[in-house]
Amino acid sequence: MRLKLAGLALAVAAVGLCAPQSAAALKCRGYHYDTGGQPAAGKPNDPLFPRQWGLRQIHAPASWKYGTGKGVPIAIVDSGVDLFHPDLKGKIVRGTDLVKGGGSCAGPQDENGHGTHVAGIAAAKTNNGIGVAGTAPGAKIMPVRVLAADGTGDVSTAVAGIRWAANHGAKVINLSLGDTPLDQTNGTAASTERAVAYAWSKGAVIVAAAGNDVFPVCDSPAAARYAVCVAATDQRGLPAAYSNLPNDPNGGAIGLRAPGGDGGGILFCGYDGDIWSTIWPGDTVDNCGGISGYDTLVGTSMSAPFVSGTAALLAAKGLTNGQILQCLKTTSSNHGSFDPVFGYGIVDALAANRTCSRTTTLVYSPATGSTSPPPKTHRHKHHVRVSVRKTSREQLERTGKLHVTVRSDRKVTIELRALVKRGGKSVTGAKATVTLRRAGKRGKTLELSKKARKQLAKRGPVSVVVRYRAGSTSGTASPGN
């Protein structure tokens, strides 16, 4: 069984535009694997950033103040990665070449260009004054080469690549490749399904391209039970005409949408309606409209790494793969609801990065005087709000009662825990569970323990912290579980 790329890049070569150079043109150069150091993330000064509409569609730039995915390895299981690209320099951790073994350059050097483009979308250096920005600027790139220079490969090689990435610490595995749903019906995708399940068991999030065949279901491996199937949107946020729908015929995969372009770049290189990213220099033709080392490609191959980058933002916070999938579902544009055209919606990096964490903490700190600041309200994943009623420190010391209100637009269970903190130490003051069986609000009074109230009675700064975990009974996210 042969795999294909899930981008439309091969169509470009087929019509004779921007065709890649021969693999023989590649000159081996020494390179080192990265062992540390992170790119700076801020307001991007990358020259091509204004043309990267895909990042803005998923609100990635606004999300970086909540984290950049620092240190999270994203495995790019693909045609390899250009190990010497200036916008990927210092980003690459040890990978493998399963096509040539060690390869003539002793590493998974890209000889096609596809994997390099995918890697740049996921995690290109950002705010470094050159080229493009990546979805997760602080993440690392683990190149796993499973596709040959012509962009094809065997399912068995891809399976080995998935397992290799899982065994070597990849937190996110990007699969911008696949075979068609017709191949799935005769059981040929069973080994891929097992490999994806294995990677999941090792703690990885597996993100795969839906495919570009206008099928109503995801290709394999995107249809695997533990995969995230990513279909494409165009610049307007509408479903791309070429994209498969983000549906799994077996009901296992999670379907999302992300930017993939509208396809104009098949005829025009450097077409801004498609997706700008890094390119292996052998795949760049300057007089075709590209900029040396960068160009546009189109397809669900380009959509998947936007989601992989977003998953890396969450993995850096310590979320498990299960928590990351729940977060992606509930923070995407459909807010936890599924429809057959958009799946759970367009991924939203800002909503995910801002609202999902292992334990969301709500703090109000009584001043050293007699009054506390206004109550804090925290919105969790667009559907839960938790607030603490304003009260004076003396009143809290006297009554020991904290009045908490939980509001939700759906069924949810919230675990509350009140802590009194002083001098770096904390005392558990109260625990409670609040369940809303339908949309609405419910109040809960937390009664602080005597030990906690004694801390309030002492002179000096003190703070009261209300931590909560949302364990939804209707399938919404469960941070901290």
Q: What is the rounded CA–CA span in Å between residue 156 and residue 188?
A: 10
The alpha carbon of 260 is separated from its chain's Cα centroid by a whole number of angstroms, namely 15
Q: What stretches of 19-75 show up as alpha helix (H) in DSSP? A: 53-57, 60-63
Closest CA to 5 of 238, 253, 304, 206: 304
State the residue for tokens 């397992």.
Answer: 163
Q: Which string of b and e fits 390-419 if b means at least 16 CB within 10 Å? A: ebebeebbeebebebbbbbebbbbbbbbbb
Which residues, including other chains, have CB under 8 Å from residue 391's CB and lie 6 or more apart? 372, 402, 403
State the Cα–Cα distance between residues 350 and 310, nearest whole angstrom: 9
> Does 408 qualify as catalytic in the annotation?
no
3-class SS of residue 304: helix
Compute CA distances 94 → 37, 73, 144, 231, whole Å: 15, 10, 9, 29
Active-site residue flag, 78: yes
Angle at 363 between CA 358 and CA 364, to 5 degrees: 175
Question: Do residues 306 and 256 lie in contact, with contact meaning Cβ atoms separated by under 8 Å?
Answer: no
Residue 50 and residue 40: Cα distance in Å, rounded? 18
Residue pointed to by tokens 């595995």: 173
Q: How deeply is 249 buried, as exposed, middle or buried, from its count of CB atoms within 10 A (0-12, 13-18, 19+)?
A: middle
Selecting among 46, 78, 219, 283, the annotated active-site residue is 78
Q: Which entry of 301, 303, 408, 472 is annotated as an active-site residue?
A: 301
Look up 295 and say whether it is catalytic. no
- Strands, E assignment, 271-411: 275-278, 294-297, 360-364, 377-380, 384-388, 401-408
Active-site entry in 114, 117, 380, 383: 114
Q: Are 20 and 114 in contact (CB under 8 A)?
A: no
Preceding peptide of 221 cis, ω within 30°: yes
Give the catalytic positions in this structure.
Answer: 78, 114, 301
